[in-house]
Structure 1
């Protein structure tokens, strides 16, 4: 895979290439990156997930502290991955060729395809559910409308990014500011209900949201002109939005959720909240579009000449059909599982990439396999599950039971309250450093002695 500098052409601004064999235009600047990632962060999924970060019976400041810390950690990880994508000018899954080799990169690619379809489905569900409640109408027409619009947006991705960065983000900010004003005008009693069992489990949920974009980040930042702009745009844009939206969800629960309402109902209880929620529902389409588009781009790492437009239509159709029968109760374990898979991979990639001299990161079709680097990734995943097993009910509960039994075998307290994300990340980065840094040092010494 070759890189390219900014492409300047006469006539209309070029859009994303149709296949992986074509060089990407680099037409996005810092403002575009900030607007895109800020808009992606202004999502109804974050306040909906706020119930999982609430520390019941604890001061509100502790929950807000977990939100700020988790947002900072996740945003920095996202920004570093985004900067690498801009420097190499390749999509996310192609970037992993330099880490694992071309064929070995197929493993995270398949996992990313699964998570992207899942996220696209979640987004369509949230859009349809919120619209259905706001307008007191059946859900299925909104599922179809959201799926069709998100798929159509994925056909012209760079054009959509520019619209989001220059216009949509301001409408979203206006709606969020209005909701904040209304929510903060109400009394905020202590929250007695919530899904977090400790400060660090709450932090893990927040970290999972920015990290879930890690495999997708380079799909967009390959079009950004510099690594610095990509880092600032993604980390600042998404990080601030994560703090704002999670906090909004927590405050709305405190102000309006005392009667057992969930976050969407709480926001609808705000005076004229229906209008603000409808604005956020419209803006929410960008998250669904991004996941549909990135699924198509990830698939091109498997077959480079596939047309992303055909792939996007197929993915959008699949996500829409899934959304018609999707159970939103699976949301929390899905977030934890994403963290378990991708948090350690972030650590492995960042240590390996940022310790590699510029120009030596091989993302070509001939990138050799580096199977040894699978070990820290796997070790990080195991550490995550042993710290906090992903909790499933129903058919998936055997997964939880197996990992809980392994905790007992190793004497790990199931209620340890540790951050599974930080334990996983620390182990993966340390093992990766032990693998890659000695080799870098030997090569430097050999060049000096020669």
Structure 2
């Protein structure tokens, strides 16, 4: 009579992410797991904190809410398209770009993504620590260390964490958010007079930026999806709905309490049992930090395929924690948005090229040839983005903003044009990508 080792059986039933790029990823995530993961990633305290930049002052509240919905739909649709591509090819995000740019040329966006992931992980740790310190009226630094350690531990077992998020954490987050909504809506909602948006499309642009910031990371998780449909629908719907909910909560809190930025958190703490609800959201916020740490390691494997992701995660987690303890991360935020602006047009190039390329011809191997021509629409989309709305840098970094402002003047572009920089950058990138795709298809047909 044979015996079965229960530990080994459980390991086979619930495999985790591969340790190196050379190992095949398990395909264990169905639609529910994808929805749960992306809904949790969308439930972030960063969104209500950033809500002030979405408010259209002096205009009906409904206009601001409409901009949130439009921005969330556009951004999450792009996210879903990339997520589905990652599932279909079963490769991480930066490896997926090999099919567009070639293996070595894909190292360029990989470098940008490494900076972005470390930066956002650091920023998430700061947000968690700041909120926890306010809830418990305690110094911030112990929460920085605790958040860094916990997020790093989560990133060591990513698929196990995803299962927990999909089964349990999402319901706790929804309960906390629903409770805060009830409390905020019980307050009078006077017209909003202060806000950072100058037009409907600049408001939508801020919302678009949040789902788009996950585009380079999406395939890191959806490579484990059982189907492209589960990945695309899970990412698009899960993150899109969460984005609408969290931005709306922030806008309503602004109207009810007249607070902005981190003061929105203080306002939510003032409601009955608000501290408990915010504490739940602080705990759930760890998934954003974990996701960025894990994706930093996976992105690095695009360059060093045999590197053990566990070693990379521990190193990156230590760096992000030290940065959260020592740097003014709030001042670093504009640079993170600049890196995000880099990926908006790249997403347009990737989506157009991938979904117009016949299936089976997207080469993500270690010998994928360089395609430098696709750098041109990417660069053109970035330039169009900055000419529409230059990334704002205060203080010493203001020279970047001033230079692009001067180029706007040279071209007769109104700085207050009110256009969506994301949509302009995407449109330019896609339009310039189409002839390259058509030329590639003609060449393959002749061959």
Q: What TM-score, normalized to structure 1?
A: 0.95
Whether the 8 Å contact between 1:53 and 1:194 is mirrored in structure 2 is yes
Q: Report what 2:180 is aligned to.
A: 179
CA shift for structure 1 position 54: 1.0
Match in the other structure for 2:69: 68
Per the alignment, residue 374 of structure 1 pairs with: 375
1:5 alignment counterpart: none
Q: What is aligned with 1:214? A: 215
Q: Which residue does 1:299 correspond to in 2? A: 300
On the 8 A contact 1:46/1:245 being kept in 2, the answer is: yes
**2:237 equivalent in structure 1:** 236
- Residue 164 of structure 1 and its aligned partner are, at CA, apart by 0.5
Alpha-carbon shift at residue 261 of structure 1 (Å): 7.5
SS of corresponding position for 1:11? helix
User: What is the alpha-carbon distance in structure 1 between the residues aligned to residue 328 and residue 45 of structure 2?
Assistant: 17
Whole-angstrom distance in 2 between the partners of 1:418 and 1:45: 24
Q: Which moved more, 1:169-178 or 1:337-346?
A: 337-346
| Cα offset, 1:332, TM superposition | 5.7
Shift of 1:326: 3.5
Could you tell me how far 1:194 is from its partner in structure 2?
A: 1.2
Residue deviations 1:354-393, cap 9 Å, x none? 0111111100000000000000000000000000000101
Listed one character per residue, the Cα deviations across residues 387-421 of structure 1 (whole Å, up to 9, x for unaligned) are 00001011211111111111111111111111101
Offset of 1:99 from its aligned partner? Answer: 0.3
**Which structure 2 segments of 5+ residues have no match?**
1-7
Task: Look up the SS of the partner of 2:168 in the other structure.
Answer: helix
Report the counterpart of residue 78 of structure 1 in structure 2. Answer: 79
1:163 is matched with which residue? 164
Q: What corresponds to 2:43 in structure 1?
A: 42
- Separation in structure 2 between the aligned mates of residue 272 and residue 43 of structure 1, nearest angstrom: 19
Structure 2 Cα separation of the partners of residues 424 and 176 of structure 1: 33
1:254 aligns with 2:262: no
Q: Distance in 2 between matches of 1:299 and 1:39?
A: 25
The answer to which of 228-237 and 47-56 deviates more is 47-56
Distance across 1 between alignment mates of 2:71 and 2:332: 18
Q: For the Cα contact (< 8 Å) 2:58–2:193, is it kept in 1?
A: yes
- Counterpart Cα distance in 2 of 1:190 and 1:269: 21
Q: Partners in 2 of 1:118 and 1:259 — Cα distance?
A: 23
Q: Is the 8 A contact 2:259 2:267 kept in 1?
A: no
Offset, 1:270: 1.7
Superposed displacement of residue 108, structure 1: 0.2
Cα 1:339–1:260 change in 2 (3 A) is closer
Return 65-74 or 337-346, whichever deviates more: 337-346
Partner of 1:189: 190
The answer to whether the 8 A contact 1:47-1:248 is kept is yes
Alignment: residue pair count: 438
Distance 1:334 1:271 in 2: 37
Q: Distance in 2 between matches of 1:140 and 1:261?
A: 17
Map of 2:402 onto structure 1:
401
Question: 2:49·2:260 contact (CA, 8 Å) conserved in 1?
Answer: no
Task: Pick closer, same or farther for the CA change 1:411–1:260 going to 2, 3 Å.
Answer: closer
TM-score, normalised with respect to structure 2: 0.95
Structure 1 runs of 4+ aligned residues shifted over 6 Å read none
Alignment check: 8 A CA contact 2:254 2:260 kept:
no
- Conserved 8 A contact 1:209-1:335: no
